[in-house]
Structure 1
């Protein structure tokens, strides 16, 4: 038996007037997804436990089968694992975004222009992080280069009680009310403030401004946590798995779960990603003997954060055409039995441009026991709401592997 989970990150949404009252999933032409929905189980699932923030860390832990209430220790430690940072039990890791802040005003009065510095490529962000490490590191604080705008800071013997805000939650807002809070958090704000003059006039940023691109002129620290202790996926479900994603966080969850992380050249985490390469990597993993592939597609989430409705619909259609179609076609032709789970990790509604904890639709298909075809079963929120509701995402994954 082969097992395939495809995560359409942030795909869940609500009715949108510009789409005639449809959701992006309803508006998107997704014949492959709807084909397997018509032959499988369609329902809705909540991947974010009550009382927890609807982050991709929490939600993807659920989808991978781990109860976040038990296993979640913070976002950044998972990302740190993916870039080879071996945390000690007393280390605290922070996500270190490179962001674009407005010019001229005092730091607290600046506006967050871009949480991703215009999706700065790694070849441009790496020298900026290297400069921050050179100028701001101490014997207890170090900075590590990740991918694009997503990097890490590690504090030895650090504390966890500080309150920070994910920058993707505050687009176009003045940052003063969202800076680190809590007793002792002043050192975080000091690092962020010191980064601005260091980065503002860096040659990388001068060149970006000349090209009409947003400069990566500040760091933004958030998402702290300590090293998690996930039980290996092989012990949990008896499968040997691979994770395929452009996002360090998702890779890190897989690595912490004992899975192989596959790097795909040209995988960006945006709508302009290497779809064909990711599909090929999934097929190759199965051909090499892997039982399980966790294939994560970030683009719908990024489009929602950016407020780009047209591209969110387009991203879903590209995933259907270039990911779901080819990989499922290969599984069908391989002659092996397989199970397929298609699900968003969380909603990222266009109206708020950030994550919500609301339920999301899922499709669960088993090649050994397809249901009688029913075209009313589709990969959409309304169809999911008519089916079974599963209140805990990890329970759906348990069913996927064990039923």
Structure 2
């Protein structure tokens, strides 16, 4: 990944990128004379693979090529990005920074670590590009790249090259960007294969669960309050699964008509329709089983909504923001913040610290302060920023949560569950 990382730097560019550009032109545009192109771009020295050069030279050569071929800058950059991939993959594999079992989503998710691992060994002072990636689910990666050089087409080309390399059908979605400066490039890459991204081999997966004597974890939500529980495999067919579970969990399943599941050996979660509940036998019949959406494809933690507004605050790179808590779990939170907040999509995937006072009727015993409103604080990452009519809606993924804070969230979920128990009991 050496070429890509140096290519993405602003101000200077490694000489190897110019050598790669020369190979690209010789193969794709054999009618173009490289020496004449250098002259028209004002280049007066030979490029070397062990030196850096002013990146304005690359822009000049690209502009000259656009004129010669009557082609757009975006088209040429995209072609160049696709051309780079075979060499990049060969280099990164040889350096051991890509695992043999990785596929396209894994490479994109780990691009920053790949850059650090391959470049810092040779150039300790190397400043990596401001490229941020986040695995949204098993089959989708979000990319945010901040640069004044407008290289989104190059990133699109690299994605096309990865699709060819791994023989995968990849699609690109570019979310709307509220950035008038043009510095932000936002791309979501996902596998365009429903059979691969959603299909669950029910007999294979649940026979493995049963043979290991493992439980299935279930997740449901009623009136904004999450419920979880465990169940056991009873029997299964190609498309259906019968499970045994507790009375409360079965009541929630019947009320919602669907459920979410996770099992130990799968890296992605599942969703299912609740076809029938038999309280007398303590069983539920599930069908329509499919892979689920969620962080890294698995819904691992329960999110709970406050009954009344809860004020929250967070800080990003020294900037402070205030908002209202929409929901919270031990792994993340959603907030609404005022429309005049100086926050935008250029802040995506940046580190932050978030805090709020959770209203609790019975604080955890481990707390020594004795206050009913408990202060929650956690380090996290800005997952999404969306403009709404009344302001901004943001989602935060927690990176580190202290044990005390985890206790607060667990108690908060427990008390909110108690709030809706009368409603659940009425369904029995």
Fold-level match, TM-score > 0.5? no
| Larger RCO (alpha carbons 8 Å, 6+ apart) | 1
TM-score, normalisation: structure 2: 0.23
Larger Rg: 2
TM-score, normalisation: structure 1: 0.24
| Structure ranking higher in strand proportion | 2
